[in-house]
Amino acid sequence: MPELPEVETIRRDLSRLIMGRKILDIATDSPKQVQPSLVEVKKATVGAKIKKIERRAKLLQIFLSNGKILAVHLKLTGRLLVRKRDAPKDDWQHITIVLSGNKELRFADLRKFGWIRLIKDKKELEKLLSEFGPEPLDSLDLKKFKAILASSGRPVKIVLMDQKKISGVGNIYANDALFLAKIDPRRPAKKITEKEVKKLYQALEKVLKAGIKFRGASDQYYLDALGRKGSYQDHFLTYGREGKKCFDCGGEIKRIKIGGRGTFFCPKCQK
């Protein structure tokens, strides 16, 4: 699933590529992914211009000149692609937003769990965003982070990935942050010492910033808004590296499951 760095990369691309363009038409062959309905979304957005694009957690928000907002969640395999209108159809292209200037914003999604949702106003948007925890690299300060970890006896990795507690962190960056902080992902969050909390906070910031710098991880489906791969997968510390050598001690990276998710760590380095 695209995480904070992947969605942020797309946000920056879209801001550069489609700002100021007018929505001319919307079409879909997967009506369930356009909410509340294609008819209502078209009625509210066709003719409006794209004013700004923001991200909160893994959710993108396209603000329009008429006050309406389109919220977009990529879920597991969603892609947002900016193409010329006559460009060949993209794989799994299910929603097409026709824009002025001979462009299309295409939503492609193999698994079809992603969605585009019409938000009527800022109040409705606030309600939608209120379910997300603070934003790493922004509103999540060390004090808040400490309190979040102290409040849960669940494995620290699960707490890092809980969107209600902390926004935007998924499996890739949680694994790598715990490796950098030398913390065993199974440890109860509240048992993490004060010194370790600080290390983990800094590690999380470091891996997320690396993710953005390398324009996301394309080990699976993720592509940026021009259909190009990111390269953070070439810099994974533990994620997907089962059986390979630990970069720190040369020991073997192990894979276990925590909360049903593949978890990669070095048993020698991470205590």
Under the binding rule (CB under 5 A), the answer on residue 147 touching Zn ion is: no
The answer to whether 194 is a known catalytic residue is no
In angstroms, what is the minimal distance from the CB of 210 to Zn ion?
19
**47 Cβ contact partners less than 8 Å away, ≥ 6 residues apart:** 22, 23, 66
Select from 248, 252, 254, 261 the one that contacts Zn ion (CB under 5 A).
Answer: 248
Select from 101, 251, 259, 262 the one that contacts Zn ion (CB under 5 A).
Answer: 251
The answer to whether 196 is a known catalytic residue is no
Residue nearest Zn ion (C-beta atom): 246
Rounded Cα distance, 169 and 145, in Å: 13
Q: Is 26 helix (H, G, I), strand (E, B) or coil?
A: strand
The answer to whether 2 is a known catalytic residue is yes
Of the candidates 21, 55, 56, 58, the residue annotated as catalytic is 58
Under the binding rule (CB under 5 A), the answer on residue 183 touching Zn ion is: no
Q: Is 264 helix (H, G, I), strand (E, B) or coil?
A: strand
The answer to whether 261 is a known catalytic residue is yes
Under the binding rule (CB under 5 A), the answer on residue 268 touching Zn ion is: yes
Under the binding rule (CB under 5 A), the answer on residue 254 touching Zn ion is: no
Of the candidates 144, 146, 254, 261, the residue annotated as catalytic is 261
Sites for Zn ion among residues 69-128 (CB under 5 A) = none
Residues of the shown chain interacting with Zn ion in the complex, contacts defined by CB under 5 A? 246, 248-249, 251, 266, 268-269
Q: Which residues are catalytic?
A: 2-3, 58, 261
